[in-house]
């Protein structure tokens, strides 16, 4: 029988026990460590500059489109 012992203090580790169902003796216990890595978020300045680039490109495209009419 597999028994989950609930969460631990660490967010990336899980405690468990394997128990013999006939004798209720603990056969094995341990921790499972998950390989969770943080995903870096783009900085605010990079997002701002990218949006500024897109707005500028959009305005230039609009101006060029009006000149050909």
Give mean pLDDT, residues 3-25: 74
The pTM of this model reads 0.38
- Cα Rg of the chain, angstroms: 28
- pLDDT, greater one: 3 or 29: 29
pLDDT of residue 45: 86
Give mean pLDDT, residues 13-22: 85
* 25 token code pair: 């003796």
Task: Check the CA dihedral 50-52-55-57 and report its sign.
Answer: negative
Continuous H helices in 1-69: 44-67
Instruction: Quick: pLDDT tens for 22-55.
Output: 999 999 888 887 776 777 777 888 899 999 999 9
């Amino acid at each position: 029988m597999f028994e989950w012992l609930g969460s631990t203090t660490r967010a990336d580790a899980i405690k468990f026990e394997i128990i013999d169902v006939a004798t209720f003796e603990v056969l094995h216990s341990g921790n499972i460590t998950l390989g969770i890595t943080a995903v870096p978020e783009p900085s605010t300045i990079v997002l701002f500059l990218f949006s500024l680039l897109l707005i500028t490109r959009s305005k230039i495209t609009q101006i060029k489109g009006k000149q050909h009419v």
